[in-house]
Every structure is written in structure tokens, then in C-alpha cells.
């Protein structure tokens, strides 16, 4: 049994404290070992690792490098642990399935079905949108540069549709640009698209009927390069950002709206978005597609500086890469963010557009900001309403109060669904209060904690992993755990 | 330039000013008790709303500042009021006295004429043999009796008995007038009471609107004029409560007046919802045409008029007046008897005119029945239309509009709870729900009052004097009723 296997089997049965103890012990023996602990003993071990330090940039701790012109400044060309011979890291779009294919005479055949779907934006909140193959966004098509593809599109919508292969330099008849290039695919009818793919990079497909696009019809079309991009990455995540307008009491998205009150990443809305979990020191790529009807997304990653290495058209030559904390992604644009995950912790990754940082922002007036008033009082007796409680706290002496959303209530079922995912194990008990709308979390975990979170059956207490990271890398004396009530 | 500099001096929109204060409530309405910084004590521009309203005095009496419904008062249901009215409404007694009066008239009309005693002294002082200046040829007493022929007295009595019968129907009509009025005013009071309750719910919503406007103001989401608008809406809602309370008092007092007793303010209790099946127009018309006491009275009056004709037809048949007696004949110096019979010769006056008049009265009464039928139908057309319209509206408010408004309100409350909709939208739905219930009460009131009229033969006016059996100008003005 390898060391890793031993550790995993232990994690499945042991206690978290024991697991940490063992994991810490392993740190000293492991090659790309984890990071320096707060004790400092491990720090020297990490620093001595050959690939831990690149011209002043450390894979394992926040650092910038010695020279902005260096290839390794901010980890620009610092490779991941993955060997190029292993091929590209698998593309992973959390919560979005991959579209399987069949081979026929060297042609990859995909079957794509435009259809109406119910997409669960929040636990139990199933919104009516259009998608493909029972998913919104549609399933990911992943191929390799040089493949020939045949995509059989069968329209299960009750109306005409078209599918456009966004960015491909293909024969015009397969472009899908509505009746400019083809006849509509009628309800129940099938149309076959077949073309060679000479491109590499980040592409997507979408309906070419405007409102169907606004109504959710998009999916990834990832083309892995024949020659793996240098430097190789360990993780290749994909996130599709979308906006919808869904009125209160409703589930149907109003694609005619000019204002947007529901925001999704891969069809989920924060805090139901699935965190991107990676190991400390890995090179991570996040491809981000903005498929909102009309709003741009300034995307911000906390705790790291990333390089913008590509857009939807193609990989950017290294000389043109830009380091940023915030990247503006326009409508129907895709950006690739690459960074070395050298700062352990749970880092929020979000659109910085204020109104996208929560769903359906409603004006904070009424019972929820009044003393001793709850909506349940009103619901209990609809025929006669309680008298208004007009007394207000002193906080109201401040013009502008309250700016923070008050009285957020998350039901037990809701919280159960949030916590019922392995990716969130050990996060702070009230993390869900922070992650809303177009927000997700990049979790950078030392390998033992990564295994604990992603592979063990261990009961992990809320906040335990975060506290352990603070213990190892932070200032545990000044740390306060989250209150656990209501969670 | 002046206005510009004034504008420059105005702090509005230039520096933060607390929201306009909530107006104090008019006299008689409980005030909102706002405490906290959103509701500044401090008055802008030297006081938006000076002083609390003074108590209202009318003729030296202070109008109570609490509504009776708030206090412990006795509740009465419909049967209480009907019982009280039956005992105390003066017009019911009036109507019964009319019957007795007609019966008395019938008694009088059938009485036989009294005999007459005459003293007769004829040719007093005539000279007779042996006696100059005799006491007279004849001195004696006679008795004269009129013998009434042709059953005149019987007919007269029958005629007035029939008029008493008319009065019985009219008394029945009067009873319906009173009971219907009690019912109508009871339902009006009941509706008024429910309206007070709903107006109070709407007031709470308006108070919430005023509070919400100030909360929005603090968030930069409502303007000062919008806050003032909420104050206007609040004050209107308060006045609506006062109006509704005054209306309830009026309804209750009107009801008590018809019942005929002195009750202080009290409560009516009951259900506005009709219990029975709706009435069809055919049913309504056939009910009033077959059972209306007014129509029955008119028909009874026709029978009385027939007797009147028969009575007048025998009037010309002469009565026989017989006279007889005894006396002393001083000429013959012996006791003699006297006798006489007189009979009027109906040569010129055979009562033709009165017979004709009575016959015309009879025909007039035939037309009167028809007129009454048509008038009832015309009135029924109007009342039934009001009844049906109100019933249709009230039913649909019950069946669809109120449940929909309630669900809209409930769904928005749930959405508010889930942070998906803001409070002003919920308040709008709340007001819509209360308001639709108010509309339902208004129409149920119309349903019940019109239903009472339809089932009660369209009779109302329980304090109008009970009418007599004969219209003005009818044959009646004779010394002895005949």
C-alpha cells in the first residue's frame, strides 16, 4: 500500500485530529510536500524542494518573485505537478455533465438535445429555463484539436431553434447563424453538423435565437490542444456565469427583462455553487465564460494574483499575458485565469458587480428590520394583520441604515443541501451567508486536508478544515470560529 | 434671483433632514405610537401639525372619543330586534286600531233607527159646542217608527265589515313594513360594523405604509414628497375609520328608532351571508302578486265597493214611516186614535247619482288592483335588479376575487420571507385583500336589504302612519255611516 493509500484508508476510519497528526507527520516525507506549518519546521523542508522556488516566487507561500520580467514572476510559467506526458488536465465544470460521444470511422459523434429544463438554482428552487440534454448550461463537449466531430442535434423544444458553434472556423453551412446559413430545426426534427476542428482553446455552443440564449441555452465546447499548453496545469476548471430575471413567486425566467435578479455559475447560485477545490501548490486554470444577456462581469479572485492566459478566441501568447486581481469578462467572452495556488484557505471568487453579489436584492424595509416583528405573525392570520411596530432602534438615526441585507433566513433543508456536498466540508459554519449570487469559492488545501475533504468518509466538523489552515498558516491566537447556531 | 437664493437656502435635498413627521390622528382615533429615530419629535418649519386635535363638542355634549364597539356593550341579534319592534312600534298598534275603528263603524251602520214619540195638539182653541175656546180638537201622543226596507242596514254593516277586512290586510302590510325595515336596518348596521373592522385593518395597513415610507426614506429609496403622500394616505385612512364608526352609530340608531325602544349604543351580531337559495325573478314576482298584503287589501276593498254599490242601489227604495197613537177628541169628547203611514215617492231622486258614483268607485277600484299589480312589478324590476347585481358581485368576490387577493397576499408574504420581494409590494397586496373584503360587505349589504324587500312584498317605511281603508274623497262623508 502506498503512503497515499495508507493515508486515505486511515482517513476513512480515524478521527480528524488523528488524521491531522498523521498528515503533519507525512509532510516531512512527501516530495512536493505540503506547505510550511506555523511551527516553521516544515518550512525549511518545503523550501528545499527543488520545484518550490522559482526566481523568488514560491509555489507554497504568497510571493511575487524577484523580477517582474522573470518568466516566474507571480508564478507566470511555474508548471503544475502534472507531467506533460500525462496529457492535459481533465476539464472540470462543477455541476455540469460531460456529453459522451461514440466513435464512428474516426468521427466523434455527439447527440445534443435542445429542450426545456428545470434547473435547481438553489436547493429546492427549480427554475424554468431552456438548456440541452436536461441540463442548463448544456453538457460539456470536450474534444482534441484535429478531431472530426458529428453533432446530431434533435430539437425537443416546442419551437424552432438553431445551434451555433461559437468561435469555430467551420464551413459556413454548419455555423448555425439562424436562417442566414440554414433552415430552422423544427420541433422534433434533427439536424446533423459535421466538421473538422483545427482550433484549440475555449469555445462554446449556444442557440442562435436571442431569447433562447437569454433563457439559458449555452454549453462548453472545449478543445484540448494536441500539444499540451506550457506550462501544464493540474486543474482546468470551467465556470459559466449567467443572469436571469425571475419575478418573485415565479420560476420562469423573463428573458425580455432588462434587469437581472438571479445569477448562476454553472446553473447554481451562491451559496449553492460548488467550490473549486485544489491542492496547495498546484497550477490552476479557471476558464470563465460570461453568457449573461447584457451585463459584464468583473471577476475577482481573493488571495492570489492570476495571469490572464487566454480568451475565447485562442490562447494568448505568453508575452501578452496580464497579471490581475480582477478581470472584466464581457458578454459572450471567455477568459482563462492561471495561478499557482500558493495561499491555503477558502478564497472567494466572484463577480464584483455589486448587484450580482446576491440574488433578487430587495429593499430592506418592513417587518424584517422592525423590532419584534416577523412575517410569520402576518401569515398566521391573514384576515387581520398585526398592528405595525413603528419603534425603531437607534441605528435608524444613521441616514442610510440598513445597507446590509437583514433577516436572511435559510431553511434547514436548504442548509442541509448546502452542506451535503463534499467540496464544502470543513468550511466555516456560516460560509453560506457570504457566498451569494455570482460567487463561488476556490479552496486551496494542503494535500492531507484535500484528501480529508474530497476522499474521506470522515465526519468533518464545520470550520475544522479552515481552523486547521489558520493553525498552520495563520495567526490562530487571533482566530474566532464562526458561531454555529442556525447552521 | 430671489427665488434662486431661496432655493439655495432650502436644505431640502442639500443636507439630510429627518423624514416629515407622522400627522397626529384626528380626535377619536387611536394614534400610532412611533418611538425611535425615524419618527422625529422635532418639527420642521415650526411644526407641520400643530397641537393635538381638540375634543368635539356638540350642543355642549362631548362626542365620545372611544367607539362603543371598543367598550363592553350588549349585542343584539335580528330576532331580538323583531321581538322588540312587534311590541313597541307604534304603527303596528295604529294599524290594529284602524281595524277596530272600522268594526265600530260597521256596528254603528247596522243599528236600527229609533222610534219617535210625538205629542199632538190640533186646532187648539177651536169653539165646540158647549165650550168656547176648547183645548183643541185633538190632544194626544203618537209614536212614529221608520221601517227600513230592502236590507239597507244589513248592507251597510256588511260594507263596513268589509272595510274592516281591508284594514286587516293593511295592518298585515304595516307589520311587514316594520319587520322589513327592522331587517333592512339590522343588515345595514351589521354591514356597517364589518366595515368598521375592515377600515381598521386598512388603517393598520396605512400606518404600516407611513412607517415603510420613512424606512425607505432613510435608505434613500423614497423622496420627501413620497413620505408626505404616505401621511396623506394615513390621515385619509383614519378619517375613513371615523366615517365608518359614525355610519355604524347612525345605522344602529335608525334601527333602534324603528324598533321603538330607547337603546343606547349597542352591537348587532349576525351573519351577512344569505342562508337560503337565491330567488329567481319569476319566483319573486309570483310571490308578490299572489301574497302581497297591499294587493290583498285592494282586492278586499273591491269587495267592500261591491257592497257599497248594492247598498246604494237599495237606497232609493223608500222606508216606511208608520205613526200611531191615541188622544182625546175634545169636539167629539171621546178618546180617538191617530195613525199615519208615510212613504217617500222616488219620482225624481232615485239615488241615481250616488249609485253611479259607487259603481264608478267600484270600477276605479278594479283599476286600482291592476295599478297596484303593475306598480309592484315595476318596483320589483328595480329591486330585483339591485338584488341580482349585488348577489352576482358578492358571490364572485366570495368565490374568486377575495380568495385570489388572499392568495396573492399570502404568496407575497412568503416571497418577502424568502427575501424575493420588497415590503411595499406586500403592503399593496394586503390593502387589495382588505379592500376587496370591504367591497364584498358593501354588496352583501345590498343583497340582504333587497332580499328583505323581495321576500317582504316590497314593503318598507316602518314609521310611516298606517293608512286607512279608503282613499281620500271616497264616499264616507255622511252623518250616519251607510
* Least CB–CB distance from B406: residue in A382, A386, A408: A382
Q: Which domain holds residue A187?
A: 89-356
Q: What angle do CA A443, A446, A451 make, to 5 degrees?
A: 85
* Secondary structure string (H, E, C) spanning B391-455: HHHHHHHHHHHHHHHHHHHHHHHHHHHCCCCCHHHHHHHHHHHHHHHHHHHHHHHHHHHHHHHHH
CB–CB of B221 and A365 under 8 A?
yes
3-state secondary structure of A197: coil
Could you tell me the pLDDT band of residue B87, with boundaries at 50, 70 and 90?
very high
Best CA proximity match to A357, nearest among A298, A401, A399? A298
pLDDT at B13: 80
Q: How does the average pLDDT of chain B come out, rounded?
A: 88
pLDDT at B67: 63
- The C-alpha atoms of residue A166 and residue B113 are separated, in whole angstroms, by 125
A265 in a domain, yes or no?
Answer: yes
CB–CB of A365 and B416 under 8 A?
no
CB–CB of B426 and A364 under 8 A?
no
Q: Which residues contact A358 (CB under 8 A, 6 or more apart)?
A: A405, A436, A437
A202 in a domain, yes or no?
Answer: yes
For chain B, give the number of residues.
Answer: 482
- The C-alpha atoms of residue B438 and residue B1 are separated, in whole angstroms, by 52
pLDDT at A372: 64
Predicted confidence (pLDDT) per residue in B19-32, tens digit: 888 888 888 887 77
pLDDT at B68: 58
A52 in a domain, yes or no?
Answer: no
- The C-alpha atoms of residue B365 and residue B197 are separated, in whole angstroms, by 51
A369 in a domain, yes or no?
Answer: no
A200 in a domain, yes or no?
Answer: yes
Could you tell me which chain B residue has the CA closest to the CA of A367?
B423
* Least CB–CB distance from B220: residue in A366, A378, A400: A400
* Least CB–CB distance from A400: residue in B219, B411, B418: B219
CB–CB of B422 and A378 under 8 A?
no
- The C-alpha atoms of residue A234 and residue A79 are separated, in whole angstroms, by 9
Instruction: Work out how many CB contacts closer than 8 A connect A with B.
Output: 120
Cα-Cα-Cα-Cα torsion B45, B47, B49, B53, nearest 10 degrees, comes to -160
- Angle of helix B293-315 versus helix B352-396 axis, rounded to 10: 180
CB–CB of A390 and B418 under 8 A?
no
CA A388 to chain centre: 43
A247-281 CB burial, b ≥16 within 10 A, e <16: ebeeeebbbebeebbbbbbbbbbbbbbbbbbbbbb
- The answer to whether A31 contacts chain B (CB < 8 Å) is no
Best CA proximity match to A335, nearest among A237, A227, A442? A237
C-alpha cell at B78: 335580528
* Least CB–CB distance from A391: residue in B35, B216, B220: B35
A131 in a domain, yes or no?
Answer: yes
Q: Are A228 and A87 in contact (CB under 8 A)?
A: yes
3-state secondary structure of A180: helix
Predicted confidence (pLDDT) per residue in B145-197, tens digit: 999 998 999 999 999 999 999 999 999 999 999 999 999 999 999 999 999 99
Strand-strand pairing, B75-76 and B267-268:
parallel
Q: Which residue has the higher pLDDT, B70 or A470?
A: A470
pLDDT < 50 positions in chain A: 1-19, 21-50, 486-487
- The answer to whether A379 contacts chain B (CB < 8 Å) is yes
Enumerate helices (H) and strands (E) in chain B, giving the number of each.
10, 8
A372 in a domain, yes or no?
Answer: no
DSSP labels, B178-222: HHHHHHHHHHHHHHHHHHHHHHHHHHHHHHHHHHHHHHHHHTT-S
Best CA proximity match to B169, nearest among B303, B297, B295, B290? B297
Q: Which residues contact B21 (CB under 8 A, 6 or more apart)?
A: B39, B40, B41, B43, B44, B48, B49
3-state secondary structure of B383: helix
pLDDT at A31: 36
pLDDT at A231: 94
CA A158 to chain centre: 31
C-alpha cell at A110: 455527439
pLDDT at A30: 40
C-alpha cell at B283: 319566483
A239 in a domain, yes or no?
Answer: yes
pLDDT at A362: 84
Best CA proximity match to A137, nearest among A31, A292, A12, A312? A292
The single residue listed with the C-alpha cell 324603528 is B258
Using left for φ > 0, alpha for ψ between -120 and 50, and beta otherwise, residue A253 falls in beta
Could you tell me which chain A residue has the CA closest to the CA of B221?
A363
Predicted confidence (pLDDT) per residue in B364-409, tens digit: 999 999 999 999 999 999 999 999 999 999 999 999 999 999 999 9
Best CA proximity match to A281, nearest among A28, A116, A82? A82
B282: β partners: none
C-alpha cell at A417: 443541501
Distances (CA, A) of B474 to B300, B319, B467, B470: 15, 25, 14, 6
Q: Are A473 and A344 in contact (CB under 8 A)?
A: yes
3-state secondary structure of A287: strand
Nearest-Cα distance to chain A for B240, in Å, is 17
Peptide bond into A137 cis (omega under 30): yes
- The C-alpha atoms of residue B200 and residue B438 are separated, in whole angstroms, by 11
Distances (CA, A) of A204 to A142, A222, A416, B322: 10, 7, 33, 135
C-alpha cell at A415: 442548509
> Domain holding A189: CATH number?
2.60.40.420
* Pure H helices in A39-133: 41-48
CB–CB of B420 and A382 under 8 A?
no
What's the start-to-end Cα distance of chain A, in Å? 39
- The C-alpha atoms of residue A281 and residue A447 are separated, in whole angstroms, by 9
Nearest-Cα distance to chain A for B433, in Å, is 9
Q: Are A74 and A323 in contact (CB under 8 A)?
A: yes
What's the start-to-end Cα distance of chain B, in Å? 98
pLDDT at A394: 84
Q: What angle do CA A430, A432, A434 make, to 5 degrees?
A: 90
Distances (CA, A) of B113 to A358, B153, B314: 109, 9, 17
Could you tell me which chain A residue has the CA closest to the CA of B198?
A384
Q: What are B's interface residues with A at a Cβ cutoff of 8 A?
A: 16, 22, 32-39, 201, 204-205, 207-208, 211-212, 215-216, 218-221, 406, 409-427, 430, 433
B chain contacts of residue A388, beta-carbon cutoff 8 Å: 32, 204, 207-208, 211
Beta strand extents in B157-296 (DSSP E only): 267-268
* Least CB–CB distance from A388: residue in B208, B216, B414: B208
3-state secondary structure of B319: coil
Most confident of A359-363, B65-69, B245-249, B432-436: B432-436
CA B41 to chain centre: 52
A chain contacts of residue B32, beta-carbon cutoff 8 Å: 388, 390
Number of domains in chain A: 1
Q: Are A303 and A63 in contact (CB under 8 A)?
A: no
Amino acid at each position: 500500500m502506498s503512503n497515499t493509500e495508507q493515508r486515505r484508508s486511515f482517513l476513512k476510519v480515524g478521527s480528524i485530529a488523528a488524521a491531522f497528526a498523521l498528515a503533519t507527520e507525512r509532510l516531512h516525507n512527501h516530495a512536493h510536500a505540503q506547505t510550511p506549518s506555523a511551527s516553521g519546521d516544515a518550512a525549511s523542508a518545503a523550501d528545499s524542494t527543488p520545484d518550490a522556488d522559482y526566481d523568488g516566487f514560491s509555489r507554497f507561500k504568497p510571493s511575487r518573485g524577484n523580477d517582474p520580467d522573470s518568466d516566474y514572476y507571480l508564478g507566470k510559467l511555474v508548471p503544475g505537478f502534472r507531467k506533460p506526458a500525462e496529457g492535459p488536465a481533465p476539464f472540470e465544470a462543477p455541476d455540469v455533465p460531460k456529453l459522451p460521444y461514440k466513435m464512428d470511422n474516426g468521427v466523434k459523434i455527439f447527440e445534443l438535445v435542445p429542450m426545456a429544463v428545470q434547473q435547481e438554482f438553489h436547493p429546492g428552487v427549480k427554475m424554468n429555463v431552456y438548456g440541452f440534454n436536461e441540463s442548463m448550461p448544456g453538457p460539456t463537449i470536450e474534444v482534441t484539436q484535429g478531431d472530426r466531430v458529428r453533432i446530431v442535434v434533435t430539437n425537443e423544444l416546442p419551437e424552432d431553434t438553431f445551434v451555433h458553434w461559437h468561435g469555430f472556423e467551420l464551413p459556413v453551412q454548419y455555423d448555425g447563424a439562424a436562417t442566414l446559413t440554414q433552415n430552422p430545426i423544427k420541433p422534433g426534427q434533427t439536424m446533423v453538423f459535421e466538421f473538422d476542428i483545427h482550433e484549440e482553446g475555449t469555445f462554446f455552443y449556444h442557440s442562435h435565437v436571442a431569447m433562447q440564449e437569454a433563457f439559458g441555452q449555452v454549453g462548453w465546447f472545449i478543445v484540448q490542444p494536441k500539444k499540451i499548453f506550457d506550462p501544464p496545469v493540474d486543474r482546468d476548471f470551467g465556470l459559466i456565469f449567467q443572469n436571469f430575471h425571475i419575478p418573485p413567486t415565479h420560476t420562469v425566467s423573463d428573458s425580455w427583462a432588462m434587469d437581472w435578479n438571479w445569477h448562476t455559475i454553472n446553473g447554481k447560485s451562491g451559496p449553492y455553487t460548488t467550490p473549486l477545490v485544489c491542492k496547495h501548490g498546484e497550477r490552476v486554470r479557471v476558464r470563465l465564460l460570461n453568457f449573461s444577456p447584457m451585463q459584464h462581469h468583473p471577476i475577482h479572485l481573493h488571495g492570489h494574483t492570476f495571469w490572464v492566459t487566454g480568451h475565447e478566441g485562442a490562447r494568448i501568447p505568453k508575452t501578452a499575458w496580464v497579471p490581475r486581481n480582477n478581470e472584466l469578462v464581457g458578454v459572450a467572452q471567455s477568459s482563462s485565469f492561471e495561478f499557482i495556488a500558493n495561499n491555503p484557505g477558502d478564497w472567494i471568487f466572484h463577480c464584483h458587480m455589486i448587484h450580482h453579489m446576491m440574488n433578487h436584492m430587495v429593499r430592506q424595509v418592513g417587518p424584517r428590520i422592525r423590532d419584534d416583528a416577523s412575517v410569520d405573525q402576518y401569515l398566521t392570520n391573514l384576515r387581520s394583520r398585526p398592528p405595525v411596530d413603528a419603534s425603531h432602534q437607534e441605528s435608524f438615526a444613521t441616514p442610510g441604515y440598513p445597507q446590509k441585507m437583514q433577516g436572511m433566513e435559510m431553511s434547514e433543508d436548504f442548509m442541509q443541501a448546502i452542506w451535503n456536498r463534499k467540496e464544502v466540508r470543513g468550511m466555516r459554519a456560516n460560509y453560506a451567508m457570504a457566498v451569494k449570487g455570482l460567487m463561488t469559492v476556490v479552496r486551496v488545501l494542503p494535500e492531507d486536508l484535500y484528501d480529508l475533504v474530497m476522499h474521506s468518509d470522515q465526519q468533518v466538523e464545520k470550520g475544522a478544515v479552515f481552523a486547521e489552515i489558520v493553525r498552520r498558516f495563520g495567526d490562530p491566537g487571533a482566530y474566532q470560529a464562526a458561531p454555529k447556531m442556525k447552521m | 434671483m430671489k427665488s434662486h437664493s431661496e432655493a439655495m437656502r432650502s436644505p431640502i435635498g442639500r443636507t439630510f433632514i429627518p423624514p416629515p413627521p407622522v400627522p397626529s390622528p384626528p380626535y377619536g382615533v387611536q394614534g400610532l405610537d412611533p418611538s425611535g429615530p425615524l419618527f422625529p419629535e422635532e418639527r420642521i418649519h415650526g411644526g407641520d401639525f400643530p397641537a393635538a386635535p381638540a375634543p368635539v363638542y356638540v350642543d355642549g355634549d362631548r362626542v365620545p372619543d372611544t367607539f362603543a364597539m371598543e367598550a363592553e356593550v350588549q349585542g343584539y341579534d335580528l330576532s331580538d330586534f323583531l321581538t322588540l319592534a312587534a311590541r313597541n312600534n307604534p304603527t303596528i298598534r295604529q294599524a290594529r286600531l284602524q281595524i277596530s275603528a272600522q268594526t265600530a263603524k260597521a256596528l254603528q251602520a247596522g243599528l236600527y233607527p229609533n222610534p219617535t214619540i210625538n205629542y199632538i195638539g190640533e186646532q187648539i182653541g177651536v169653539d165646540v159646542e158647549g165650550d168656547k175656546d176648547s183645548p183643541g180638537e185633538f190632544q194626544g201622543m203618537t209614536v212614529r217608527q221608520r221601517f227600513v226596507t230592502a236590507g239597507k242596514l244589513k248592507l251597510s254593516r256588511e260594507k263596513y265589515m268589509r272595510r274592516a277586512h281591508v284594514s286587516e290586510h293593511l295592518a298585515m302590510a304595516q307589520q311587514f313594513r316594520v319587520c322589513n325595515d327592522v331587517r333592512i336596518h339590522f343588515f345595514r348596521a351589521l354591514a356597517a360594523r364589518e366595515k368598521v373592522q375592515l377600515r381598521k385593518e386598512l388603517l393598520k395597513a396605512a400606518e404600516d405604509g407611513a412607517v415603510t415610507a420613512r424606512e425607505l426614506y432613510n435608505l434613500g429609496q423614497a423622496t420627501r414628497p413620497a413620505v408626505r403622500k404616505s401621511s396623506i394616505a394615513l390621515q385619509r385612512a383614519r378619517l375613513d375609520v371615523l366615517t365608518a364608526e359614525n355610519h355604524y352609530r347612525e345605522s344602529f340608531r335608525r334601527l333602534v328608532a324603528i324598533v321603538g325602544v330607547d337603546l343606547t349604543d349597542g352591537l348587532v351580531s349576525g351573519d351577512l351571508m344569505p342562508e337560503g337559495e337565491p330567488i329567481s325573478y319569476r319566483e319573486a314576482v309570483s310571490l308578490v302578486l299572489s301574497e302581497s298584503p297591499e294587493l290583498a287589501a285592494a282586492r278586499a276593498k273591491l269587495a267592500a265597493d261591491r257592497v257599497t254599490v248594492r247598498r246604494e242601489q237599495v237606497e232609493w227604495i223608500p222606508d216606511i214611516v208608520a205613526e200611531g197613537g191615541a188622544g182625546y177628541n175634545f169636539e167629539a169628547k171621546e178618546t180617538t186614535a191617530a195613525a199615519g203611514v208615510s212613504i217617500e215617492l222616488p219620482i225624481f231622486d232615485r239615488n241615481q247619482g250616488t249609485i253611479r258614483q259607487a259603481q264608478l268607485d267600484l270600477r276605479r277600484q278594479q283599476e286600482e288592483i291592476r295599478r297596484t299589480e303593475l306598480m309592484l312589478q315595476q318596483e320589483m324590476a328595480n329591486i330585483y335588479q339591485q338584488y341580482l347585481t349585488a348577489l352576482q358581485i358578492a358571490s364572485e368576490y366570495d368565490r374568486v376575487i377575495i380568495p385570489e387577493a388572499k392568495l396573492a397576499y399570502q404568496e407575497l408574504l412568503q416571497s418577502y420571507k424568502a427575501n424575493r420581494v420588497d415590503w411595499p409590494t406586500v403592503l399593496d397586496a394586503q390593502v387589495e385583500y382588505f379592500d376587496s373584503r370591504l367591497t364584498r360587505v358593501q354588496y352583501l349589504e345590498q343583497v340582504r336589504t333587497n332580499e328583505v324587500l323581495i321576500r317582504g312584498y316590497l314593503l318598507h317605511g316602518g314609521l310611516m302612519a298606517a293608512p286607512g281603508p279608503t282613499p281620500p274623497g271616497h264616499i264616507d262623508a255622511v252623518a250616519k255611516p251607510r
